[in-house]
Structure 1
């Protein structure tokens, strides 16, 4: 049996079966009011009870690994991490959310993965310094819940937990099956990213809530300035595009942060300047450098930048005229983050300058058009099943890690490009949908 076949049979299929059974059980037994009432009457099914049941499971996982049962440890650990999805679903569907649960749930996650991190650092699989930094930020962050108002995990905390699980999966596969070429040299970089996310999670707990949106916008701006510097310094455009991707991730949440926690009087200006820099100027420079004739590149890149600036100004002006204080569900014209993804990825991937010019100009025209586009974060993302999101995000992170290791980014770029073009064509879906019957 080959290594890939062994991983598929011994690890992948059992994990997918556990996840599938968990999803089926939640969907099947939380459908009716009677089922929900039955769950609410049984304390052992309360989300807080499930979270508390995870407390000792991290130590038990380490014991199984130390005794020489790595496959059993892998599946046991995975099962209990899946229950972290279960208790959240029960809390939402049964209205069992409590303030105590906002502290218990992240504590149970830490008690799950911390013993394993310490054990792997002791054996030399993980850098002890990075593990120490990560756990220091994590402990202080957990302790801070005793005196902060918002106790629930923030975006960085959720991303940190997800990535720590990915890290332990990578280590577990190499422990069981030996060095794997696809995973080579990814462990320590992943641990470093986890430590950085733990720091951000802690910092965002201590900073006043109304600064959250501004900080995300400023980080987006820094990404944009970094991308401009990469292009002007003659660096590979794909590195600049990577910073734009990161800026898009940050931009996905700054508006919702402002709606939830408020912002400063200049918050909207921060957001527009950041978007214009990352999605307009950086991508405009990427466009300009993909043409052999400088004047053609400057012309098309300038046209694209002008469309982004016009798009941002028009959005703010019309929003104020209509008296809209929060976000919107539908945009008039292609949003600038999506336009940046289409135009930038086209110029990096497609070798034909003629095709690049046509797609960039078409993207610019769509941005200043009145074609309706659904807000990705508010309208589309909530409709996608969480398991699909987790699998797609995991696949993208894996492909990205491989790209960083090899300095070859074709696979993650193609995945991003397919997603961008699908969103670009999304208004066409309405033309093919059957109209609902009138009553």
Structure 2
């Protein structure tokens, strides 16, 4: 259970309280540090999958924890950015709500004997959310460049992809559930 791939995922979970603490008292330095912690945690998302596949370390624990760690990291960042007034609350509610809905859908799918794996839209959604959050976490201008407008634009694109991928998961599940219901008859 505690192999290298799962430890990388657990490190991503461990980054969440550090991120929250850094954003609790925002300053130029704290925001830069929060962005660096976030980037390091996001890199573990890439690394844990590569390590798990290459070293044959894929476990049920890792399959469960990896998407949960992504959701915790992104949700924590969004919630703190809302609290700071740097992201609109409705954007965070839609993104976090979609994550909860898809997690619930996956749990329901298990009851139907259907496994809902992450698809390319879901993976792209996660990457775009992580990329969008970096300039929003940085917040303060650097060498005359204001990262906030870039972050906002990327976050709105991530929001659209979040909704599209959520609809795709629900559509895919409904097709599979109908097929498995017919096969059971």
TM-score band, normalised by shorter chain: 0.7 to 0.9
TM-score using structure 1 length: 0.35
1:192 lines up with 2:150 in the alignment: no
Deviation at 1:71, TM superposition (A): 2.3
Q: CA 1:112 to 1:150, structure 2 compared with 1: closer, same or farther past 3 Å?
A: same
RMSD of Structure 2 on Structure 1 (CA): 2.6
Structure possessing the higher relative contact order (Cα contacts under 8 Å, 6 or more residues apart): 2
Quick one: which of 48, 64, 70 aligns to 1:87?
Answer: 48
Contact 2:136 2:148 in 1 (8 A): no
SS of residue matched to 2:137: helix
User: 1:1-30 CA distances to partner (integer Å, 9 max, x unpaired)?
Assistant: xxxxxxxxxxxxxxxxxxxxxxxxxxxxxx
Q: CA 1:122 to 1:90, structure 2 compared with 1: closer, same or farther past 3 Å?
A: same
Find the aligned partners of 1:139 and 1:83 in 2 and give their Cα distance: 22
Deviation at 1:178, TM superposition (A): 8.1
Name which one, 1 or 2, has greater alpha-carbon Rg: 1
User: 1:184-237 CA distances to partner (integer Å, 9 max, x unpaired)?
Assistant: 63333322222222222222222236969xxxxxxxxxxxxxxxxxxxxxxxxx
User: 1:37-73 CA distances to partner (integer Å, 9 max, x unpaired)?
Assistant: xxxxxx5434233223322422321211323422222
Deviation at 1:179, TM superposition (A): 6.5
Q: Map 1:233-252; keep pairs closer than 5 Å.
A: none
SS of residue matched to 1:126: coil
Quick one: which of 46, 57, 68 aligns to 1:96?
Answer: 57
SS of residue matched to 1:185: helix
SS of residue matched to 1:124: coil
Contact 1:121 1:131 in 2 (8 A): yes
1:54 lines up with 2:24 in the alignment: no
Find the aligned partners of 2:61 and 2:166 in 1 and give their Cα distance: 19
Q: CA 1:103 to 1:202, structure 2 compared with 1: closer, same or farther past 3 Å?
A: farther
Deviation at 1:108, TM superposition (A): 0.3
SS of residue matched to 2:45: helix
Contact 1:48 1:87 in 2 (8 A): yes
Report how many aligned residue pairs link the two structures: 169
Q: Map 1:170-249; keep pairs closer than 5 Å.
A: 170-175=135-140, 177=142, 180=145, 183=147, 185-208=149-172
Q: Which residue of 1 aligns with 2:69?
A: 108
Quick one: which of 100, 115, 119 aligns to 1:150?
Answer: 115
Q: CA 1:105 to 1:195, structure 2 compared with 1: closer, same or farther past 3 Å?
A: same
Find the aligned partners of 1:110 and 1:99 in 2 and give their Cα distance: 18
Find the aligned partners of 2:76 and 2:157 in 1 and give their Cα distance: 19
Deviation at 1:176, TM superposition (A): 5.6
Q: Map 1:286-301; keep pairs closer than 5 Å.
A: none
Contact 2:9 2:65 in 1 (8 A): yes
Contact 1:99 1:151 in 2 (8 A): no
User: 1:109-164 CA distances to partner (integer Å, 9 max, x unpaired)?
Assistant: 11112111111112211111111111111111122221222343221211111111
1:164 lines up with 2:125 in the alignment: no
Q: CA 1:93 to 1:72, structure 2 compared with 1: closer, same or farther past 3 Å?
A: same
Structure 2 unpaired stretches of 5+ = 177-185
Find the aligned partners of 1:178 and 1:139 in 2 and give their Cα distance: 38
Contact 1:113 1:164 in 2 (8 A): yes
Q: Which residue of 1 aligns with 2:179?
A: none
Q: CA 1:122 to 1:45, structure 2 compared with 1: closer, same or farther past 3 Å?
A: same
